[in-house]
Amino acid sequence: MSSLRVILGDQLSQSLTSLQEIDKTHDTVMLCEVMEEATYVPHHPKKIAFLFSAMRHFADMLHHDGVCVRYIKLDDPQNTGSFTGEVMRAIHAVQPQRIVVHEAGEYRVNEMMKEWQRCFAIPVDILPDNRFLATHEEFAAWIKDKKQFRMEFFYREMRKKYGILIEPDGSPTGGEWNYDKENRKPPKSGMTVPKRIRHAQSSITREVLTLVHARFSHHFGTLEPFHYAVTRAQALMEFEHFIQNLLPHFGDYQDAMVAREPYLYHSLISSYLNAGLLLPLELCQKVEDAYRTGAAPLNAVEGFIRQILGWREYIRGMYWQFMPEYGTRNYLNATRPLPDFYWGAQTHMFCIAETVRHTREHAYSHHIQRLMVTGNFALLAGLDVTEVQAWYLAVYSDAYEWVEMPNTLGMALYGDGGAVASKPYAASGKYIHRMSNYCEKCRYDPEQMTGEKACPFNALYWDFMVRHESIFRGNQRMPYVFSTWDKFAPEKQRAIRAQAQMSLQKMQEGVL
Ligand SMILES: Cc1cc2nc3c(=O)[nH]c(=O)nc-3n(C[C@H](O)[C@H](O)[C@H](O)COP(=O)(O)OP(=O)(O)OC[C@H]3O[C@@H](n4cnc5c(N)ncnc54)[C@H](O)[C@@H]3O)c2cc1C
Ligand code: SF4
**Atom of ligand 1 lying closest to residue 265 CA:** 30
Task: Identify the residue whose C-alpha is closest to ligand 2 atom 2.
Answer: 455
Paired residues of 261 in beta bridges: 258
Cα–Cα distance list, 152 to 159, 180, 254, 309, 311 (Å):
11, 11, 18, 11, 9
Q: Which of 184, 186, 463, 506 is nearest to 349 (CA)?
A: 506
d(CA 374, CA 392): 10
Rounded distance between C-alpha atoms, residue 49 and residue 226, angstroms: 9
Q: Tell me the residue ranges of DSSP E strands in 142-242.
A: none
Which of 442, 443, 499, when mutated, tests ligand 2's pocket best, judged by the most ligand atoms within 8 Å of its CB? 442
Instruction: Tell how far the Cα of 264 is from the centroid of ligand 1, in angstroms.
Output: 14
Kindly identify the ligand whose nearest atom is closest to the C-alpha of 196. 1
Domain 136-193+246-322 has CATH 3.30.200.20: no
Which pLDDT does position 314 carry in this prediction?
98
- Which ligand lies nearest to the CA atom of residue 351 in the structure? 2
- The residue ranges of the chain whose pLDDT is under 50 are none
Nearest CA to ligand 1 atom 36: 307
CB 247 within 8 A of CB 287: yes
- Cα-to-centroid distance, 445 and ligand 2 (Å): 7
| Among protein residues, the one whose CA lies closest to atom 6 of ligand 2 | 439
Q: Would you state the pLDDT for residue 1?
A: 86
DSSP structure string for 262-276 = SSTT----HHHHHHT
| Amino acid (1-letter code) at residue 314 | Y
List all residues 6 or more positions away from 11 whose beta carbon is below 8 Å from its beta carbon: 102, 129, 131, 275, 276
Nearest ligand for residue 277 CA: 1
| HEC profile of 452-487 | CCECHHHHHHHHHHHHCHHHHCCCCCCCCHHHHHHH
Q: 118 alpha carbon to ligand 1 midpoint, in Å?
A: 36
**The CATH number of the domain covering residues in 3-127:** 3.40.50.620
CB of residue 401 inside a 6 A radius of ligand 1: no
Best mutation site among 444, 449, 460, 461 for ligand 2, i.e. most ligand atoms within 8 A of its Cβ? 444
Atom of ligand 1 at shortest range from CA of 270: 49
Q: Is this model's pTM higher than 0.95 or not?
A: yes
Nearest ligand to the C-alpha atom of residue 377: 2
Ligand 1 atom closest to 367 (CA)? 17
CA distances from 162 to 35, 176, 280, 310, 409 (A): 39, 17, 11, 12, 29
267 lines ligand 1 (CB under 6 A): yes
Instruction: Return the pLDDT at 174.
Output: 96
Nearest atom in ligand 1 to the alpha carbon of residue 254 is: 29
**Exposure on the CB side of residue 434, measured as CA atoms within 13 A:** 9
Of 455, 456, 437, 435, nearest to 445 by C-alpha is 455
CB burial class (10 A; 0-12, 13-18, 19+) of residue 345? exposed
For domain 340-509, give the fold.
DNA Cyclobutane Dipyrimidine Photolyase, subunit A; domain 3 (1.10.579)
> How far is ligand 2, taken at its centre, from the CA of residue 465, in Å?
19
- Return the ligand 1 atom nearest residue 269 CA: 25
Domain segments of the chain: what residues? 3-127, 136-193+246-322, 340-509
Q: What is the dihedral of CA 33, 344, 463, 184, to 10 degrees?
A: 70
User: In this predicted structure, what is the pLDDT of residue 183?
Assistant: 86
- Determine whether the shortest distance from the Cβ of 399 to ligand 1 is under 6 A: yes
Residue of 407, 414, 416 to test ligand 1 pocket, by largest number of atoms within 8 Å of CB: 407
Cα of 368 vs centre of ligand 1, distance in Å, is 10
Please give all residues whose beta carbon lies within 6 A of any atom in ligand 2, as ranges.
Answer: 349-351, 429, 432-433, 438-439, 442, 444, 446, 455-457
What is the reported pLDDT for 187?
A: 92
CA distances from 153 to 144, 157, 367, 417 (A): 13, 7, 21, 20
* Predicted pLDDT of residue 420: 96
Q: Report d(CA 302, CA 287) in Å as an integer.
A: 9
Ligand 1 center to 126 CA (angstroms): 27
Given this chain, do its domains 136-193+246-322 and 340-509 carry the same CATH topology? no
